[in-house]
Amino acid sequence: MHTAPHSSIELNYIDQIIDLALEEDLGLGDISTSVLNVPQATAQAELTAKEAGFISGIFVAQLVASKVDPEVQFEALVTDGSPISKGDLLIRLKGNATSLLGMERTMLNFLQRMSGIATTTAQYVQAVGPHKTVIVDTRKTAPGMRYIDKMAVRHGGGTNHRIDLSSMVMLKDNHVRLIQESGKSFEQIIEQARRSLPLSTRIEVETTNLKEVERALKAGVDVIMLDNMTLEEMKQAVSLINGECMVEASGNMTLDRIPQVAAIGVDYISVGALTHSIKAFDISMNFI
């Protein structure tokens, strides 16, 4: 299980996002706490899960705390990617009361969104059952939150698809229209991509029917996406491909469809719902 960023690039990105989040929340200062006139008061706080699921955001929450006040004691009682029950204590904090109140909302925003993503992802992963199919995310993330959203997917047991447009070649319907207008054949475009890009660059093509599957197969792509196909169409496509390349199922991949789609034998199921319309996980922070 990945409990930290994959790379220094990811860490730097997350660092910047936390800075922006704190800036937008703290503004010119917490005037609600300042009117109490207790700048030296200390306090202890606990963050508690109000529902069962999978936790994500502990790593990010610790960074939030250290940025607001390095003197605050941060004790994580669970690790990212862990299953949790309703009522579980997640984090204990001790330090300046003003600092704790200043970090509360930003910390909770990250924890609740990330844990919501991790919990939903875990449900999809579990729905695959005994099959080999891997649940992958998409680029349908909250603007500016991609690295954080994708980290949460990993904490839920999912796998990250491409991080951005430079990660791999993925030719979708609008690309195909441009190819047709260019006067070049589909095979010529794939061959051109092979010559001009590093050998490690994967090429994926979106298909919506068996004719398009045959064309992609003939061109020798690495991954064929079956987009918005019926179960019967996907079965026929997987039979036609016959292991010659990887197969990704996509489009309307609701939780109840996952067992049936996985049983067909696709390698990947991509799910936009992991990140694009997530329900925040219920977590509270209370002084004790």
Active site residue 146: no
Question: Is 55 within 8 Å of 115 (Cβ atoms)?
Answer: yes
- Residue from 92, 105, 194, 202 carrying the catalytic annotation: 105
With 0-12 / 13-18 / 19 or more C-beta atoms within 10 angstroms meaning exposed / middle / buried, residue 241 is buried
- Residue from 67, 94, 140, 202 carrying the catalytic annotation: 140
- Residue from 206, 212, 248, 267 carrying the catalytic annotation: 206
Pairwise CA distance, residues 48 & 63, whole Å: 19
Q: Which two tokens stand for residue 278?
A: 């997530």
Active site residue 227: yes
Number of Cβ within a 10 Å radius of residue 177: 10
Active site residue 140: yes
The set of residues, in sequence order, having a beta carbon less than 8 Å from that of 266 and lying 6+ positions away, is 133, 226, 234, 238, 247, 248, 249
- Residue from 137, 149, 204, 227 carrying the catalytic annotation: 227
Active site residue 218: no
Pairwise CA distance, residues 66 & 103, whole Å: 10
- Residue from 50, 172, 184, 279 carrying the catalytic annotation: 172
Residue 49, SS3 per DSSP: strand
Active site residue 105: yes
> Which of the residues are catalytic?
105, 140, 172, 206, 227
